[in-house]
Amino acid sequence: MKSRFFVKIFLLIILATGAQAGVIEDTVASLKNLDISIKILFLITVLSLAPSILITVTSFTRIVIILSLLRHALGIPQSPPNQVIIALSLFLTFFIMKPVFIEINKDAITPYMHKEINDTEFIDRATKPIKKFMFENTQKKDLKLFIDLAKEKPKNIDDLSLTTLIPAFLVSEIKIAFEVVFVIFLPFLVIDLLVASILMSMGMMMIPPMMISLPFKLILFILAGGWELLIKALIVGYK
């Protein structure tokens, strides 16, 4: 049952947020009267945007950047491998986005499946929780920048277009990810400097400092509960 729920939610996000490219907003009125086969063809077309939609409207971007750069801070850029990093980022994204998915399922998917609402209302209800999530986790100065560039004057979140909110959300996510990684890098940088200074004072110039400092960085990260603290910070960091 849970797997079917997440499949429905994923398909909904793809359909609902496809409006970022202006595809759904321009055609949803005509879709109301189209044959079911045409709607299926349209949905399959939107499915091709699935990877970009997953990246642009969820917490995936911030998580994958932080976990990827953590490897460089530790000095092991190839471990954990990319498949593990992406998988962990994906499931953390589902964990963080679960309240949004539940709200979409309750307010949009279920009424639509029971034919209580039409296509237009379905899109409106589906995009509201996503827009709210992005709005609450976007830095205000980044949002103001894109609103000014788009020359829009939204009175509330409902008037804010996805084409303005999504890039502001992405820029904000990248900035926050870099700020978190900077804090993570500091203790490991101190260890690298200490080890390099000790080796130079001992005249051991031929031994790479990274080879000596790596075990110390790993044990420090483990003893400090690094994985638990980092994952908790990633989850709590979202409103």
Instruction: Report how far residue 29's alpha carbon sits from residue 43's, in angstroms, rounded to the nearest whole number.
Output: 15
pLDDT of amino acid 223: 85
Kindly list the averaged pLDDT for each block of 10 residues, start to end, along the chain of length 239: 49 49 46 58 70 81 90 81 88 88 82 77 81 87 84 76 85 90 86 79 70 80 84 83
pLDDT of amino acid 218: 83
pLDDT of amino acid 151: 81
Q: What is the pTM of this model?
A: 0.74
pLDDT of amino acid 23: 45
Q: Where along the chain do its domains lie?
A: 2-177
CA-based torsion, 208, 209, 210, 216: positive or negative: positive
